[in-house]
Amino acid sequence: MSGNNGNTPAIVAEGLVRRFGDFTAVDGVSFRVEAGGIFGFLGPNGSGKTTVIKMLTGLLPLSAGEAQVQGLNVRTESEGVRERIGYMSQNFSLYNDLTVTENLQFYGRIYGLEPDRLRRRMNEIVELNGLEPYLSRLAGKLSGGWKQRLALGCAMLHEPKLLFLDEPTAGIDPVARRQLWDLLFELSGHGITFFVTTHYMDEAERCSHVAYIYFGRIIADGTPEALKSLPDVNPPGTKRIEVATPEVTRALRLARQIPGIRSATIFGESIHALIEENCDLADLRGQLASQGIRVTEIRPLTPSLEDVFVELTSKHQAALEARGEVVHA
Amino acid sequence: MRDVFRGFGAVFFKETLHVRRDSAALFFSLMIPLLQIFLLGFGIDTNIRQVNTVVYNEDGRRESRELIDRLRNSDTFRVIGYVQDDQHLNDAIISGRARVGVKIPVDYSDKLLHQMSAQVLVLIDGSDSSVAGQAINVTTAIGLDESLRRVLPARVALPVDMRPKLLFNPDSRSPNFFLPGLTAILLLNVTTFLTAFSIVREKEHGTLEQLFVTPVRPMGLLFGKLLPYLGVGFFELCLILFFMRVVFQVPIHGNVLLLAFLSLPYIFVSLSLGILISSKANSQSEAIQLAFITFLPSIFFSGYIFPRETMPLIFYAISYLIPATYYINITRGIILRGAGIQHLWLDGLVLFAMGTLLLLVAARRFRNKVVAV
């Protein structure tokens, strides 16, 4: 039996396919998750994120392809895989009529922890997640943030080196969301690898590696920095700028008519635009001012991950349509 | 080998916590069967007595009044009224006011006096076959008896004298017959629902999926679920037997410990059935639907209400596939007939085999989800 030494990647997925009847939910997905760090798995609803997690954790059989998790083949060594991973599902999977302590004890026993080790791990988890005040409370009576902390605690009692978190912050208030990410960073500092799905772009920005899945196919895969400097996102001869103005809606309508501006979208109180490289910013400001638009600031911009995904998604969509494959977005 | 049952201890311990914590649900699932024992024990009498009867006595003389008294004294009929024409006699039956209408013609006494055959019309509502059958039997018997009395000289012994003797239930008490069978139905009901719900609830909450990513094995999971409810089912059995014996005075002729012992395989079958249902159902309402598919045949084809011997061959064959059939044989055997292990070991064995088979099928269905092969 092969275990995980420092060099083995946490996950290697090669050509994963999952079909449900005629529908192909996951279509030839390959990626690699190095040990340590936080791997962000992004994509719109129904794009196949949860299906991929279920295939990697052994909940769903693979229709085709191969996957190694912690160096073990998920097809043939699924029991070994299950011993080495932790999994936290979207709905936190706790027993609402059991107390916090009882939930922890149950999951500890399920993983076969000896009483001494169980006690030690419970103390560690309780301290790490700040669960002390709630130990004798029923899990069903906890707020969303505390449920999520308890679920995370249950998933890591057996000291897995790899944790799958399926939308861990869905439906959690912003403070709890921030606290969870701080905790994830702390844990990943101790050498635990995280595979996290999320909708939130700010969370994606904090990941050490990001993959974007779109209708069953991976269309972006790399560190956030690498993705932001992709040629597809930064076509040669163009640059990105941010134009801050109090009148974004009217400014956007005008900006789209100015030659030299390839595309423009609203981001809050400003406009993000992709413009010709030789376009002069002072000139642009002048053109907008002549139309009565007061520009408070205009400056060069590095693309955000959201820019990256919007760009890649529309390119991918266009490519599919060109090949005659219909995609219902 | 221990590995096959991996996770058993953890699941068993957790499940007993669930049972203890949800005491309200437990209380109701134990009380409702007892309530049914009371309803059926007090409410149902299979002996047909005091059937509502109307009489149209055209004759009205002494002989005809004697005949009416004999009908009354049989305990089968209760005369609720007299009518004066055929129209009212028919109406009484059509409206449901009476089940039986007796018409004694105007020349009844005259024909008897002249040693001629006197006819009496008995109209019987055939819409309830057991009432109708009893009415036919009793009126025919009274007619025959009345005839013999007139034909034979007094104090002559009958050439053939049938002496029927009811064994085991000499007073023909309904609770003695009903409650041992009802035990089987109630136990099935309680234990099947409890296990099915305990697993379907985990499906609904997503905890079952969580368990499937842990190293727990299907048999560990299923036995951990099963044993606590085996205890609950056994406790329920003790309650039912207690009320049957103490409140309804049903004598237990056989060994009550043997009954307890042979109940274990039956509870095991019911629990396995619940687990099988839960492997198919994704919500509690689906589980209820599926459970009813199993309950109705258990009620109708097990011999609980209708004797199996009178069923068409195909249904008689089906009755052998129903666990309650064997268990009712065990309960009635031990409670009423005082049967011993030498009479009932095969029934117990069949139940145990059925339970094992169902559990293996259920484990297979779960294993396909646990192990991704």
User: In this predicted model, what pLDDT tens digit does every residue of A111-152 receive, in sequence order?
Assistant: 999 999 999 999 999 998 889 999 999 999 998 889 989 999
Residue A215 and residue A48 in contact, taking contact as beta carbons nearer than 8 Å: yes
Sequential pLDDT tens for chain B (373 residues): 458 888 999 999 999 999 998 888 888 888 888 998 888 888 877 788 889 999 999 998 998 999 999 999 988 899 999 999 999 999 999 999 999 999 999 999 999 888 888 999 999 999 888 889 999 999 999 998 888 888 877 767 777 888 888 888 887 788 888 899 999 999 998 999 999 999 999 998 889 989 999 989 888 999 999 999 999 999 999 999 999 999 999 999 999 999 999 999 999 999 999 999 999 998 999 999 999 888 889 999 998 888 888 889 999 999 999 999 999 999 999 999 999 999 999 999 999 999 999 999 998 888 766 443 2
Which residues, at least 6 apart from B325, have a Cβ–Cβ distance to it below 8 Å? Answer: B301, B302, B303, B308, B319
The pLDDT, as a whole number, for residue B359 is 93
d(Cα B61, Cα A5) in Å, to the nearest integer?
111
Q: What are the pLDDT digits (tens) for A58-83?
A: 888 899 999 999 999 999 998 899 99
Average pLDDT, chain A: 88
How close B291 comes to chain A (CA, Å)? 25
How close A285 comes to chain B (CA, Å)? 56
- Which among B14, B211, B215 has the least Cβ separation from residue A79? B215
B330 near A CB under 8 A: no
- Asked whether the beta carbons of residue B371 and residue A58 sit closer than 8 angstroms, the reply is yes
At B116, is the secondary structure helix, strand, or coil? coil
Which residue type sits at B362?
A
The pLDDT, as a whole number, for residue A325 is 66
Q: What is the CATH number of domain A235-302?
A: 3.30.70.100
How close A181 comes to chain B (CA, Å)? 22
Chain length of chain A = 329
Residue B162 CA to its chain's centroid (Å): 30
Question: Where residue A327 falls among pLDDT bands split at 50, 70, 90?
Answer: low
Per-residue CA distances from B324 to B30, B184, B308, B314 (Å): 19, 6, 12, 17
Six-digit token string for B105: 């013609």
A73 vs A259 pLDDT, higher one:
A73
Query: Taking 50 as the threshold, does the pLDDT of residue A329 lie above it?
Result: no
For B370, nearest residue in chain A (alpha carbons):
A59
The pLDDT, as a whole number, for residue B195 is 92
**Residue A139 CB neighbour total at 10 angstroms:** 23
Which residue type sits at A217?
R
Query: Taking 90 as the threshold, does the pLDDT of residue A312 lie above it?
Result: no
Kindly list the residues of chain A whose beta carbon comes within 8 Å of any beta carbon in chain B: 55, 57-62, 74-76, 78-79, 82-83, 85, 87, 89-98, 102, 106-107, 109-112
ipTM above 0.90, yes or no: no
Domain boundaries of chain A, sorted by first residue: 11-223, 235-302
DSSP designation for A58:
T
Closest CA to B221 of B243, B199, B201, B239: B199
- The residue-averaged pLDDT of A96-119 equals 94
Question: Where residue A275 falls among pLDDT bands split at 50, 70, 90?
Answer: confident
For A90, nearest residue in chain B (alpha carbons):
B206
Predicted TM-score (pTM) of this structure: 0.81
**Residue contacts between A and B (CB atoms, under 8 Å):** 81
Identify any residues that bridge with A110 across adjacent strands, giving them in sequence order.
none
Query: Taking 90 as the threshold, does the pLDDT of residue A199 lie above it?
Result: no
- Which among A59, A91, A111 has the least Cβ separation from residue B212? A59
d(Cα A239, Cα A143) in Å, to the nearest integer?
46
d(Cα A55, Cα A67) in Å, to the nearest integer?
9
Q: Which CATH class is domain B51-151?
A: alpha beta
Domain boundaries of chain B, sorted by first residue: 2-44+172-370, 51-151
- Asked whether the beta carbons of residue B373 and residue A75 sit closer than 8 angstroms, the reply is yes
Do the strands A162-166 and A85-88 form a parallel or antiparallel pair, or are they unpaired? parallel
- Asked whether the beta carbons of residue B205 and residue A57 sit closer than 8 angstroms, the reply is no
The pLDDT, as a whole number, for residue B2 is 55
A11-223 CATH fold: Rossmann fold (3.40.50)
Query: Taking 60 as the threshold, does the pLDDT of residue A328 lie above it?
Result: no
